Structure 1
């Protein structure tokens, strides 16, 4: 379905360096990028433009933007979010989402990756030595830094520093007009190798989903739509909160199939049983 077709990677931050080789090898599409549109118009990590929609809607809009401006009907886009981990409350996390949108065949395939591998940080700086320490902690200059006149609604934003000398020079210029400066890790993909690794992982997940075709109509993207809990405890046999099965559904023809024991085990360790270990 995809072999030999042109595939647009909707990005302006060099994500194609990671995504294109993997996708071309896996599905035989011919990847390219375009400057005919600006994905930053949907929101920026540096703060100039606020992202108005959630990550999934933003992904769809990126793909649509690419399609409308290049007339390429096969598009991939990715979108990242950063914040507290949903269950490890004191840990920071990077959630990456990636979408393949085939406008010709009306197919949408989405993959997600939640990772603790992130250096997303921000700090208010009053002294030059604190900025130097922050730069060392986030592995600058391999990872970028953004300077802002304030954390919220900054009037001035400075970025794309390639050396400590340049960073300190811009810091002192901003500091001459403000009592403190807000410094944060640059989370744009081309300025953050740690994030790029997570984008690589989610691309592999997308490839797995693309290759998982519907048993009924052979459409790519036969994917999990719900999970059934109740894996029995190995000791007392009562149902636990662990996953018993996954329900797969084709977005094209609606065919459904339940797959038992997705974790490869048929009973759960009593450690995770509410009856044995309340």
Structure 2
């Protein structure tokens, strides 16, 4: 279905370095990038352009706009989100979502992953000593930084800072002009190797999803679409919130399978039971 076709990687931030080698090897496609559509118009991490939609809808827009501008029918794009981990409170996290769209065959496959391996951080800085302490903590200069007057002031913003001279000079200029300075990690992939590593991992997950075909009609993307809770407690045998089964459903013919005990355990530890451990 994909062998020999041309695949657009919708990015302005060099994500093709992580994505292209995997797709070309595993699917036999020829990858390319294009500057005909500015993906930053859908939102920027630094805040000048707010993301109007959620990550999934933004990702879909990125794919469709890129296809339209480049007159192609095969595209992959990623969308990252940063903030507190949903389960590990107070821990910063990077959620990365990838979408693969094949207009010709009406295929859309989405995968995502979340990781606490991120340098995502920001702070108001009062002096050069605080600036360098922050820089050392967030893996500078291998990971880029952004400087601006304050969190929501974009009147002067310096992005992609990857050397100490530029960092210190930009800090002095902003302090002299505004009297305050705000530093944050540059989360664009080309300035953030840690994020690029996660994009590579999610790309491998996406390839696996594409290569997972429906047993009934051979359509790609036969992956888990729903997980059912209800794994029984080992002590009181009441259903818990833990996963009992995974449901996979074909988006084309609706063929469905259910896999019991996907995590290779038939009962749950009582510590996770709302009755034994309320």
Unaligned runs of 5+ in 1: none
CA shift, 1:223, in A, is 2.3
CA-to-aligned-CA distance 1:31-58 (integer Å, 9 cap, x gap): 1111222111111112232211111011
CA shift, 1:185, in A, is 0.3
Question: Could you say which residue in structure 2 is the equivalent of 1:201?
Answer: 201
In the alignment, the residues of structure 1 paired with residue 175 and residue 265 of structure 2 have an alpha-carbon distance, to the nearest angstrom, of 58
Question: Could you say which residue in structure 2 is the equivalent of 1:210?
Answer: 210
Aligned 1:1-278 pairs, distance under 5 A: 1-278=1-278
Three-state SS of the structure 2 residue aligned to 1:175 is helix
- Pairwise CA RMSD of aligned residues? 1.3
Three-state SS of the structure 2 residue aligned to 1:111 is strand
CA-to-aligned-CA distance 1:235-276 (integer Å, 9 cap, x gap): 333322211111111111222211111112222223322333
Deviates more, 1:5-14 or 1:37-46: 37-46
Three-state SS of the structure 2 residue aligned to 1:65 is helix
In the alignment, the residues of structure 1 paired with residue 269 and residue 161 of structure 2 have an alpha-carbon distance, to the nearest angstrom, of 51
Three-state SS of the structure 1 residue aligned to 2:167 is helix
In the alignment, the residues of structure 2 paired with residue 214 and residue 115 of structure 1 have an alpha-carbon distance, to the nearest angstrom, of 29
CA shift, 1:95, in A, is 0.4
Three-state SS of the structure 1 residue aligned to 2:259 is strand
In the alignment, the residues of structure 2 paired with residue 161 and residue 275 of structure 1 have an alpha-carbon distance, to the nearest angstrom, of 53
Three-state SS of the structure 2 residue aligned to 1:198 is helix
In the alignment, the residues of structure 1 paired with residue 97 and residue 60 of structure 2 have an alpha-carbon distance, to the nearest angstrom, of 11
In the alignment, the residues of structure 1 paired with residue 51 and residue 153 of structure 2 have an alpha-carbon distance, to the nearest angstrom, of 14
In the alignment, the residues of structure 2 paired with residue 163 and residue 275 of structure 1 have an alpha-carbon distance, to the nearest angstrom, of 56
CA gap of 1:277–1:47, structure 2 versus 1, over 3 A, is: closer
In the alignment, the residues of structure 2 paired with residue 15 and residue 126 of structure 1 have an alpha-carbon distance, to the nearest angstrom, of 34
In the alignment, the residues of structure 1 paired with residue 155 and residue 18 of structure 2 have an alpha-carbon distance, to the nearest angstrom, of 34
Three-state SS of the structure 1 residue aligned to 2:18 is helix
Three-state SS of the structure 1 residue aligned to 2:264 is coil
Would the aligned equivalents of 2:143 and 2:162 in 1 still touch at CA under 8 Å? no
Deviates more, 1:260-269 or 1:90-99: 260-269
User: How many corresponding residue pairs?
Assistant: 278
CA shift, 1:199, in A, is 0.8
In the alignment, the residues of structure 1 paired with residue 117 and residue 160 of structure 2 have an alpha-carbon distance, to the nearest angstrom, of 22
Q: Please, what TM-score do these two structures have when normalized by structure 1?
A: 0.96
CA shift, 1:87, in A, is 1.6
CA shift, 1:3, in A, is 1.1
Q: Please, what TM-score do these two structures have when normalized by structure 2?
A: 0.96
